[in-house]
Structure 1
Amino acid sequence: MIQRWSRYSTHLGQLLEETDALFQKVAVHPNPSINEMRTIITEKGEPLPSWLPDLEVELHKLQSEIKIERNVVDFGAVGDGVTDNTNAFRKAIGRGNCKIIIPEGVFVTKGIKLPSNTILVGAGKGKTIIKLHHDALKSAILITNKHHISGNHHIYVEGMTLDWNVKRLASDERTASGNNRSSCLTFAHVKYGWVRKVEAIHAGLHAFDVSSTLYYYIKDGFIGPGRSQYIWLDELNGYGFGDDGITTHHSDYIFISKSHMCDPSGRAHEPGYSNSNGIEIDDGSRYVWLANNSTTRCFGGVEIKAHHNASAASNVTIIGHLSVHDNRAFNFRHIGHHKGDDPESKTAYNIKAMNLVAMAPIFTSLYEVSTPRAMVISAYRHVVVNQFTVLGDSTYDFEGHPVIAIQYRAKQILLNKIYIDGFYHAGGIKGKFHVPEELT
């Protein structure tokens, strides 16, 4: 099996060049947005968005300009898992322009709001635990920026576990209160943000959310104001989230790397209808990169999508993703814009995906009526999938369902180096295809 897995193994630089060349064949020209989808490779061989070095300059600027360092303990915080530390955090953070140190312990709070130019650093995952107070509202966000309307900038969070404390709610209660609330960490209208080495558990809605001021459901083609921009999410993990692990809405230039999301509760939804994804690039998001992430036992491993009354996510690059036992490992769709009598999507375009692995997609109680797929592409156009390995469980009856479905109004789709093995009674690849002569 190892030999089969490596059948399409390609050096990263070659893979990027090959994928870009294929993408040029399917993308309609002129299309200036393609130029903003460039990926660079570091000396260590890591793929990065072309804009990331500029974000690193902003981080150096933040770190060099902050001269004040405070420990929350000096402001009365007690990490005993009982004391309400809300006021202690508020006093320590002040108006920002400071670095806040949180030592080991369990620090209970009703929510932390970070102003601009703030660094918040714990002792590490599982060592520093920030936990929502038992009396916190269902709408509470454990950590967020201070001004969702006017916006904030230069916020850095690292080295902690965030516990939304879902046990404070009734066991049969849905866990989210609507829009971009009820999450472990939300950046809403933030420019220049970093979240590194953070764990989020049992979020009511999302583990991590990069959002605009609000989620906008107005119409396809609408570009929502108050967008977050230039955000790096790195080495994150989450589980037990009510909806999605990592999600983005109406925001631009986001990099998600080396993160793992698994085992959602789905409790933000009606039982059996939980569209709970490991990583979801949602409504109106643009210029998003995913590199070397993984997901397990979610409804969707990676979902790129939009609701029917919002713009679709566009200009998305995926480099290396492992999906294990997700119901739909890779799901690209614009709801309400993919069937024959639907209006065609104005915004569902431009996806480059390479070096993907889907292992044993399965039925799930999260979304009971959803049949398993390694990949679904609906409504999107200008999509290249290059080097995709799909491995099934030979003891699992796939009941004649297609492993990959290219369907409805998907156009200009190019699949290259696809390897499928180990499925029992599967239907293969489903779709009607026309291969241009220059691609044969």
Structure 2
Amino acid sequence: MLRLDETHDPYQNGQLIAEYTETKSNGEAVLRAEQLMKDSPFVAPRRTPHPSRYLRSLISPLFLTDRDKHILPLTKAFVSEQDEIRPSWFGRLTYEFEQLISNVEKVDVRTYGAVGDGITDDTLAFKEALADGHRQVHVPAGTYLVRGIRLPSYTILTGDGKGQTILKLHDAAPKGRRLITNQNYLLGNHHLLVERMTLDWNIDRIGDAKKSSTWGNHSSCLTYAHVTYGWVFDVDAVDPGLHCFDISTPYYNYNGDGARANLSSSFIWFDGLTGSGFGDDGITTHHSDHLFISNCFMRDPSGRAHAAGFSNSNGIEIDDGSRDVWLFNNATTRCFGGLEIKAHATSSAASTVKIVGHLSVDDHRSFNFRHIGHHQATDPTSQTAYNIIATRLIAQTPQYTSLYQNSKPRALIVSAYRNVVIHDFTVLGDPYYDYQEQPMIGIQYKARNVTLSQVKMSGFRQAKTDIQVFGGDNRAEDIRLIDVRIEDSAKHGITIGPNIEHVRLANVAIKGDGTVGLNAKSEPELERFIATGYKVPVRTHATSG
């Protein structure tokens, strides 16, 4: 089995992913996934008026709430000649990058008195070097102690490489301090680039504090809040109290499903980032649009931003109100969630997310797509949990974690989301690991229009079910399992709960020596389905009634 450690090069993610997936290229994979979405019974986003949400939006400060915007449409991916996936708006980002690099003066921070000896406070030198922007500040190899850096518009901060140029928070910096952020949250900033360095939040300065962060989006290594046109390339983040990298607004918004925070960030590209020891998430996004995250690797969170045993610390988290987010060839390991797309109950869900290539190794929940508070039959249906396309995913050995002690491992959860396509999904378990009779893939809790296509799954010998579609009053609906291969895995191959009206299984072959191949309490539509080796190959409502 594959294991990823601190020596892993994130630019090797794509090569590793290609070794596990079945499609020949990224271009082939994304085109097929987009077609599957087009062919599905697409659920149009809707917004139902809700009195409590309306009242909360009136009470909240007007500049914190955006009540007009809703769901952005899915757009086609651009595929380069090198088989790299790019967002539909990538040309605009490229043009603005050229504007940035042609409108800055090159300076060296040591010219302004920076020492970089790991002892001297270099904060003032950075402030003077950055001035009012329109500068590319070179930071030579060394360890620079700072009390926080704020970037004006048209700024490039360039080091000599990860582990060579180190920016480290001063021992006297308060716990809520962000190591790097933009200068003006109210008016916003634009055209910012940070590259080729390590960011050390200096966790040792807070001692044995039970919680490593303060509030909101404070206590992170790098935060872009109300930034338009921002880039972060080849940066390592170490031991932040909250997040390694955060694309955000100045303030989070919890005024209900359908509301979004104003002052959002947009057109941001993160590439080649690594992070570890984070108190909450490695990379996270909130209430921001048009984001691209590629070739990144997040591992081994501390979880210290949460109470012990209750840490939802994800490698990459696309969170409240994020829209039109693209992820390409990323990797995570030993996190609570490898990749989580979600929202809190009192916020809008992340929506319109496209994933091409993600390698999850030993994460607790490899892929976790959910809108909290919109699960039970009595909960309101989510107004914003829509539109996820994902292809070339690998979930290897999801497992229990001390980060969240009572949680159960999963390779995939789709909960409350509508219009979801998962294509070319490789799921590998450890046949000797005790999964404690759990299902490994769950399509559940009001999920609608979900397609799983070209799924290859094996090794979950100690699990109860490989794939479970949950029924009941909060059942999933309009589910398609197409081109699925399960071999030598759980006791039950596929389980379908009661009261589900539309489930289709096509080109499905499951082989094992467990109890039941297909255990269906609803009546699925079967087309070229075969189950071999199980004590009961097929058990349906009709055969058991």
Pick the TM interval, shorter chain: over 0.9
- Partner of 2:278, secondary structure, is coil
How much does 1:393 deviate? 1.0
Checking the alignment, whether the CA contact within 8 Å between 2:25 and 2:83 is kept in structure 1 is no
| 2-structure distance, mates of 1:35, 1:337 | 22
Q: 1:285 aligns with which of 305, 311, 322?
A: 322
Tell me the equivalent position of 1:9. Answer: 23
How much does 1:70 deviate? 1.2
Residue type of the alignment partner of 2:333: T
Tell me the equivalent position of 2:165. Answer: 128
Could you list the per-position Cα deviations for residues 4-61 of structure 1 after superposition, in whole angstroms to 9, with x for gaps in the alignment? 9757333322222211111111423599967543211111110010111210110001
Tell me the equivalent position of 1:387. Answer: 424
| 1-structure distance, mates of 2:195, 2:419 | 36
Checking the alignment, whether the CA contact within 8 Å between 1:278 and 1:295 is kept in structure 2 is yes
Tell me the equivalent position of 2:95. Answer: 57
Considering only aligned residues, what root-mean-square deviation do their CA atoms show, in Å? 1.9
User: Equivalent residues in 2 for 1:40-439 (5 A)?
Assistant: 40-66=78-104, 68-426=105-463, 427-432=465-470, 433=479, 434-435=502-503
Residue type of the alignment partner of 1:252: D
| 2-structure distance, mates of 1:190, 1:420 | 41
Flag the 1:273–1:324 CA change in 2: closer, same or farther, 3 A.
Answer: same
- Partner of 2:436, secondary structure, is coil
Checking the alignment, whether the CA contact within 8 Å between 1:331 and 1:375 is kept in structure 2 is yes
Tell me the equivalent position of 2:67. Answer: none
Residue type of the alignment partner of 2:503: V
Asked whether 1:20 is paired with 2:20, we answer: no
How much does 1:149 deviate? 1.4
How much does 1:172 deviate? 4.0
Flag the 1:298–1:30 CA change in 2: closer, same or farther, 3 A.
Answer: closer
| 2-structure distance, mates of 1:225, 1:72 | 34
| 1-structure distance, mates of 2:193, 2:353 | 24
Number of residue pairs the alignment of both structures matches:
438
Flag the 1:30–1:85 CA change in 2: closer, same or farther, 3 A.
Answer: closer
How much does 1:392 deviate? 0.6
How much does 1:418 deviate? 1.0
Checking the alignment, whether the CA contact within 8 Å between 2:43 and 2:418 is kept in structure 1 is no
How much does 1:425 deviate? 2.0
Could you list the per-position Cα deviations for residues 365-423 of structure 1 after superposition, in whole angstroms to 9, with x for gaps in the alignment? 00011110000111101000001000011110111100101111111111111111011
Residue type of the alignment partner of 2:350: A
| Long gaps (5+) in structure 1 | none
Residue type of the alignment partner of 1:16: V
Compare 262-271 and 173-182 and name the one that shifted more.
Answer: 173-182
How much does 1:170 deviate? 2.0
- Partner of 2:167, secondary structure, is strand
- Partner of 2:156, secondary structure, is strand
| 1-structure distance, mates of 2:320, 2:180 | 22
- Partner of 1:369, secondary structure, is coil
| 1-structure distance, mates of 2:208, 2:44 | 53
| 1-structure distance, mates of 2:124, 2:44 | 55
Compare 19-28 and 324-333 and name the one that shifted more.
Answer: 19-28
Residue type of the alignment partner of 1:399: Q
- Partner of 2:160, secondary structure, is coil
| 2-structure distance, mates of 1:6, 1:243 | 29
- Partner of 2:29, secondary structure, is helix
Checking the alignment, whether the CA contact within 8 Å between 2:73 and 2:352 is kept in structure 1 is no
Flag the 1:182–1:52 CA change in 2: closer, same or farther, 3 A.
Answer: same
Residue type of the alignment partner of 1:47: I
| 1-structure distance, mates of 2:103, 2:310 | 48
Checking the alignment, whether the CA contact within 8 Å between 1:264 and 1:276 is kept in structure 2 is yes
Residue type of the alignment partner of 1:58: E
| 2-structure distance, mates of 1:37, 1:276 | 30
Flag the 1:36–1:406 CA change in 2: closer, same or farther, 3 A.
Answer: closer
Residue type of the alignment partner of 1:435: V
Checking the alignment, whether the CA contact within 8 Å between 1:84 and 1:109 is kept in structure 2 is yes
| 2-structure distance, mates of 1:88, 1:215 | 32
- Partner of 1:37, secondary structure, is coil
Checking the alignment, whether the CA contact within 8 Å between 2:299 and 2:335 is kept in structure 1 is yes
How much does 1:148 deviate? 1.0
Could you list the per-position Cα deviations for residues 295-335 of structure 1 after superposition, in whole angstroms to 9, with x for gaps in the alignment? 00000000000000000000001100000000000000000
Checking the alignment, whether the CA contact within 8 Å between 1:26 and 1:413 is kept in structure 2 is no
Could you list the per-position Cα deviations for residues 152-206 of structure 1 after superposition, in whole angstroms to 9, with x for gaps in the alignment? 0000110000000000012243111010110000000000000000000000000
- Partner of 2:98, secondary structure, is helix
Could you list the per-position Cα deviations for residues 194-248 of structure 1 after superposition, in whole angstroms to 9, with x for gaps in the alignment? 0000000000000000001211111100021000000000000000000000000
Could you list the per-position Cα deviations for residues 92-119 of structure 1 after superposition, in whole angstroms to 9, with x for gaps in the alignment? 1111111101000000000000000111
How much does 1:65 deviate? 1.8
Residue type of the alignment partner of 1:237: T
- Partner of 2:102, secondary structure, is helix
Flag the 1:309–1:382 CA change in 2: closer, same or farther, 3 A.
Answer: same
| 1-structure distance, mates of 2:75, 2:143 | 41
- Partner of 2:363, secondary structure, is coil
Asked whether 1:37 is paired with 2:37, we answer: no
User: TM-score by structure 2 length?
Assistant: 0.78
| 1-structure distance, mates of 2:210, 2:454 | 45
